Structure 1
Amino acid sequence: MSRDITGLALGFAASGVLHLVKPEPYVAIVPKPLPFKKELVLGSGVLEIALGAMMLHPRTRRLGGRASVGLLAAVFPANVQMAMDVVRDEKAPTLFKAAAIGRLPLQLPMIRIAQKAARS
């Protein structure tokens, strides 16, 4: 298994644990029209842990990769919401604003790695 797939899988697992242990920052970036924000965050945390584990095991790597592509696409609106909120916040440091915007394009390499896992 390649390092990039391992890295994505471990990143998913770590992020999933953070969703469960400290959901508040994630709840804050769920797009405003969506209901059940905390439940969505907790569910996505469990899903990230499961998908990370699936990408680590050869038998489930393909399905884990495919589902990870879907999850990354599904959470992208929350990342956009966070960037918009940070940019609008007059008190937010410029570096934080730049990081919130700069992380948006990082979804693409993550999706590519998940697709690679789906093909393996």
Structure 2
Amino acid sequence: MPPTPSSPLLLAGLLAGAAVAHAAVPKPFDAMVPASLPGTPRGWTYASGAAELVLAAGVAHPRSRRVAALVTAAFFVGVLPAHVKMIVDARHGSPVHLAAAVGRLPLQVPLVLWARKVSRSATSR
């Protein structure tokens, strides 16, 4: 049976894919890291990618799915400042980059709702 849009495995795949992107092509993610955070942007890029990988594993496994999906929802909320920074940085750039940055921000809402739905539908074992 193919995964449904609310599938926990599809969410886990999205998280794992994002984690790989953070490691394989870190530069765009580095640019999203707010300057107010301590350390280097690359450190935050790798840390967030590692977090996504851990969350992917947690969401994929039925025994940890409920908690991992809730933490995933919180993670999606936690990266909102990075998306806001993208918009601020793109204000004086090309209209295409600005439109892409603005378009990404509202996509966080369905991601949060998806993770919450996966958490609610998880069975406790």
Under a length normalisation based on structure 2, what TM-score does the superposition of the two structures give? 0.85
Distance in 1 between residues matched to 2:112 and 2:83, nearest whole Å:
14
Number of residue pairs the alignment of both structures matches:
117
Aligned to 2:114: 113
Match of 1:78 among 82, 88, 92: 82
Query: Deviation above 4 Å: which 4+ runs of structure 1?
Result: none
Taking only the aligned residue pairs, the percentage that are identical comes to: 35
Give 1:1-120 correspondences, 5 Å limit: 2-4=4-6, 5-36=8-39, 37-89=41-93, 92=94, 94-119=95-120, 120=122
Give me the whole-angstrom Cα distance separating, in 1, the residues matched to 2:17 and 2:85.
Answer: 22
Q: Which has the higher helix share?
A: 1
Q: Deviations over 1:53-106 (max 9, x none)?
A: 2112211111110110111111110011011111222xx2x2321121011111
Measured in 2, the distance between the counterparts of 1:117 and 1:41 equals 25
Structure 1 residue runs of 5 or longer lacking an equivalent are none
TM-score (norm 1): 0.88
2-structure distance, mates of 1:10, 1:99: 23
Q: Secondary structure at the match of 1:33?
A: coil
Larger displacement relative to structure 2 (108-117 or 80-89):
80-89
